[in-house]
Chain A
């Protein structure tokens, strides 16, 4: 008998705050939350005024950062002191997802124990715990390797957030950290689904975590990737806009609790959505830090993934795109979608395309969180703002970011395709659907 994976909990931490409602407020007003970085402000980057970020002399010093106060309900001060910022984000989001999945009517423990051999964790991170790595490198390079802090070293590894989630929640199942840039969050979810479908785990935490540091921001600026504001104004990401000029770095964590559907229903857990398909592909024409020209190849891969799942492009009601305002990246996002839809036949029109990174920023799995939140909002008919910075659609792309009342779809489940086409070549997809027709 096949095992289906369902999402029963969503935890989200980002520049908009913590929790689903904070996320919704951001999506409904369409405005990004960014903060100016400085040597004495957030994300100063290490403790030394020789921090290398200053030597990069960034022109853009804005990023979407997490207000630490929003973590207070989820993380004790003593716990937080022993963690890097990404670990704090991940643990807070995982605990939020657990609470989200909790069925109060089932008793104090929600009808199931979370200290479990078959509870696993698969998180994705693009850059890992960057701030502690920067600080550790400063120690080693400036004061000598013998001054290296064991604590910083332990927290500098990419899998520290996943390990902290497992340690604090008692998850002895598979524990993996995917590092495939922006494509990672969807890959992490897919791998978690595989754990459940194969029967190796009953429930999994899956998602993404990343932090923004001043050094990272400065590097993206020097590489010409960061969006620029005019006249000293904060930069704005303009996905699919003719005048888009880059992305806005942001940080946060998105953690889903994914369970085997029958087990979740048996315990009376809330079903936020089902994960019905997904896949990955790679554009080998991309170089190490840019996008390539292989949209035809990626579009064909997407069409194949849908086809293998018994879906046609016309079955998709909404696309949540990873477009973030990058000139090359948004082009690849748009052309990949158009290729897949064209392959399905001339009568197949692209559904509305949402670009939540305009509001939520580049990292931390915000667009995955948005997709899951949207599933739950379909019956409510909420209205999404078009991103505040959007002005004119890029005529070369044939896609513009959606704003307006959330479409309700037709008969049957509402299906959302989530897509990310990342710099460096990797691309990933997930198809989610509302749970109405679940058995």
Chain B
């Protein structure tokens, strides 16, 4: 056992937008269904591409937009971010405005930080505008171009919550969301914030859709991580948000503890701009560093929420990384891959998969990985398939994220029931 941290940081709120819907309840139902939300893409034309599928967020439910004053001025990614953040702060029992009459319960503006990951921000809206400019359409408004800076979803959340503490956006490709959780944890440990809003948001756009097609790393059908004969990834969109604070603060204000945020590790392959190291060294380093940061050992890992894109190279590299970091136990630890259900959310994937991992810990079941076929003998994972798998032994969840340029990150989350007698009491209690 590594040296435990002096202070425990807990998760008290979760929010999610995904192809399953605009709430964490939608996400959890979808994940437990064992089906995939990956389906036909209609956001923009894709006729000439290898695939025409994506996990596209549905239209928002009636009334949702009306509750957000500047909805029409927000990009898709900003909408995902704001909706998920508002859901998370509501669950945490923190009024989403600093002007709440109940000042004790409100988010403390100076002590609230927002840490977000993302990779495209308003690219979809930018593309529409540039298309119009290239077509010479007169009177094309340029305002949508202002949605492009990658910090816009973060800023939209901070403004909505009245946060005045550190606001930091990280854009390290597909590792961004997990790195954002790490930055939040660092800020909490350093005493710079009392409440951290950590997450990520990304929307589908032509640039990433065409780009991954050009790299020939997409599957024509829905992705099938760790399956034999897998062909590649499927893109998705949405947001995931966690509210993290100290155990002491959460207990003092009577918040419900959903889980713990124990540690994050980073590494870089330093190898290639798009391909992972075949030997999995980078993935192993990130996983080992996360476990060390969390103060836990491989023996304490209850399940893995793998990056699991479904590309032949990524899954193989990731598996070798797990084998290096976790030893012989790697093949025994149940493994799930959220992307098979909601697609690859790119810069937001780590954040949404953190939400999924915490929902699993809270619900004491591991959601299944949709897809047909046998497990690839080259990646002999204990893949959770078919039905959700009950978590029999207490332990932690490890969630991994690996991005272009070899940016790797892993996060470790623990169950609430291991935090000094607090948290949810009933096994299988409805979490949403």
Chain A interface (Cβ < 8 Å from any Cβ of B): 50, 52, 55-56, 117, 120-121, 125-128, 133, 136-138, 140-142, 144-146, 148-150, 153-160, 162-164, 166-167, 169-181, 187, 191, 194, 198, 200, 219, 222-223, 279-284, 286-289, 294, 297, 300-301, 304, 424-426
Check: B282 CB closer than 8 A to any chain A CB: yes
Q: Shortest 6 CB-CB distances between A and B: which pairs?
A: A163-B405, A153-B211, A174-B266, A145-B210, A175-B268, A280-B166
Contacts of A125 in B (CB 8 A): 171
Most buried by A among B131, B266, B269: B266
The answer to whether A181 touches B404, judged by C-beta atoms less than 8 angstroms apart, is: no
Interchain nearest-CB distance for A428 vs B (Å): 9
Q: A162-B405, A166-B270, A180-B151 are in contact. Are A157 and B173 (CB under 8 A)?
A: yes
Q: A178-B168, A288-B152 are in contact. Are A141 and B267 (CB under 8 A)?
A: no
Interchain nearest-CB distance for B155 vs A (Å): 5
The answer to whether A179 touches B211, judged by C-beta atoms less than 8 angstroms apart, is: no
Q: Within the assembled complex, what's the spacing in Å between the Cα atoms of A426 and B163?
A: 11
List B residues 134-171 near A (Cβ within 8 Å): 134, 136, 140, 142, 145-152, 154-156, 158-159, 161-171
Interchain nearest-CB distance for A166 vs B (Å): 4
Most buried by B among A159, A177, A178, A425: A159
The residue from A126, A140, A157, A172 contacting B285, defined by CB atoms under 8 A apart = A172
The answer to whether A424 touches B134, judged by C-beta atoms less than 8 angstroms apart, is: no
List the one stretch of B271-279, B349-357, B370-378 in contact with chain A: B271-279
Contacts of A304 in B (CB 8 A): 110
Number of A-B contacts (CB under 8 A): 243
Check: B213 CB closer than 8 A to any chain A CB: yes
The answer to whether B271 touches A281, judged by C-beta atoms less than 8 angstroms apart, is: no
The residue from A142, A155, A171, A187 contacting B270, defined by CB atoms under 8 A apart = A171
Chain B interface (Cβ < 8 Å from any Cβ of A): 46, 48-49, 109-110, 113-114, 119, 126-127, 130-131, 133-134, 136, 140, 142, 145-152, 154-156, 158-159, 161-173, 179, 183, 186, 190, 192, 206-207, 209-215, 266-274, 281-282, 285, 289, 293, 403-408
Q: Within the assembled complex, what's the spacing in Å between the Cα atoms of A281 and B155?
A: 12
Contacts of B173 in A (CB 8 A): 157-159
Most buried by B among A127, A166, A175: A175
The answer to whether A50 touches B168, judged by C-beta atoms less than 8 angstroms apart, is: no
The residue from B126, B158, B166 contacting A284, defined by CB atoms under 8 A apart = B158
The residue from A154, A171, A426 contacting B268, defined by CB atoms under 8 A apart = A171
The residue from B133, B142, B150, B152 contacting A158, defined by CB atoms under 8 A apart = B150
The answer to whether A180 touches B146, judged by C-beta atoms less than 8 angstroms apart, is: no
Interchain nearest-CB distance for B314 vs A (Å): 15
Contacts of A144 in B (CB 8 A): 48
Subset of 22 A-B contacts with CB under 8 Å: A117-B285, A126-B149, A137-B127, A137-B130, A140-B210, A145-B210, A146-B214, A149-B214, A156-B207, A157-B405, A162-B405, A172-B268, A173-B268, A174-B268, A176-B179, A179-B149, A179-B170, A180-B151, A194-B186, A223-B142, A223-B146, A284-B161
The residue from A50, A174, A179, A280 contacting B165, defined by CB atoms under 8 A apart = A280
Q: Within the assembled complex, what's the spacing in Å between the Cα atoms of A297 and B147?
A: 25
Contacts of B127 in A (CB 8 A): 137, 140-141
Q: Within the assembled complex, what's the spacing in Å between the Cα atoms of A287 and B146?
A: 11
Q: A145-B206, A280-B166 are in contact. Are A50 and B134 (CB under 8 A)?
A: yes
The answer to whether A425 touches B159, judged by C-beta atoms less than 8 angstroms apart, is: yes
Q: A52-B133, A56-B142, A222-B142 are in contact. Are A121 and B215 (CB under 8 A)?
A: no
Q: A141-B130, A174-B266, A301-B110 are in contact. Are A166 and B406 (CB under 8 A)?
A: yes
Interface of A is mostly: mixed
The answer to whether A159 touches B171, judged by C-beta atoms less than 8 angstroms apart, is: yes
Interchain nearest-CB distance for B137 vs A (Å): 9
Other than A167-B273, A284-B109, give 18 A-B pairs with Cβ distance below 8 A: A55-B134, A137-B130, A142-B134, A153-B207, A157-B119, A157-B171, A167-B269, A172-B281, A174-B266, A174-B267, A180-B167, A180-B168, A279-B192, A280-B165, A281-B164, A297-B164, A301-B110, A301-B165
Nearest residue, chain A, Cβ from B269 = A172
Interchain nearest-CB distance for A29 vs B (Å): 33
The answer to whether B206 touches A167, judged by C-beta atoms less than 8 angstroms apart, is: no
Q: A282-B114, A282-B165 are in contact. Are A424 and B151 (CB under 8 A)?
A: yes
The answer to whether A181 touches B166, judged by C-beta atoms less than 8 angstroms apart, is: no
Q: Within the assembled complex, what's the spacing in Å between the Cα atoms of A121 and B267?
A: 10
Nearest residue, chain B, Cβ from A280 = B166
The answer to whether B267 touches A155, judged by C-beta atoms less than 8 angstroms apart, is: no
Q: A136-B211, A301-B110 are in contact. Are A282 and B166 (CB under 8 A)?
A: yes
Interchain nearest-CB distance for B401 vs A (Å): 12
Q: A55-B136, A163-B405, A167-B272 are in contact. Are A284 and B163 (CB under 8 A)?
A: yes
Contacts of A52 in B (CB 8 A): 130, 133-134
Contacts of A159 in B (CB 8 A): 171-173, 403-405, 407
Nearest residue, chain A, Cβ from B180 = A176
Q: Within the assembled complex, what's the spacing in Å between the Cα atoms of A155 and B211?
A: 11
Contacts of A175 in B (CB 8 A): 172, 266-268, 405-408
Q: Within the assembled complex, what's the spacing in Å between the Cα atoms of A176 and B152?
A: 18
Q: Within the assembled complex, what's the spacing in Å between the Cα atoms of A149 and B173?
A: 18
Q: Within the assembled complex, what's the spacing in Å between the Cα atoms of A145 and B212?
A: 11
The answer to whether A140 touches B270, judged by C-beta atoms less than 8 angstroms apart, is: no
Q: Within the assembled complex, what's the spacing in Å between the Cα atoms of A159 and B272?
A: 13
Nearest residue, chain A, Cβ from B217 = A150
Interchain nearest-CB distance for B410 vs A (Å): 12
Most buried by B among A55, A191, A287, A304: A55
Contacts of A187 in B (CB 8 A): 168
Interchain nearest-CB distance for B171 vs A (Å): 4
Interchain nearest-CB distance for B419 vs A (Å): 23
Q: Within the assembled complex, what's the spacing in Å between the Cα atoms of A114 and B179?
A: 24
The residue from B154, B168, B206, B215 contacting A150, defined by CB atoms under 8 A apart = B215
The answer to whether B49 touches A146, judged by C-beta atoms less than 8 angstroms apart, is: yes
Interchain nearest-CB distance for B188 vs A (Å): 12
Interchain nearest-CB distance for A126 vs B (Å): 7
Q: A150-B215, A173-B268, A425-B158 are in contact. Are A180 and B169 (CB under 8 A)?
A: yes
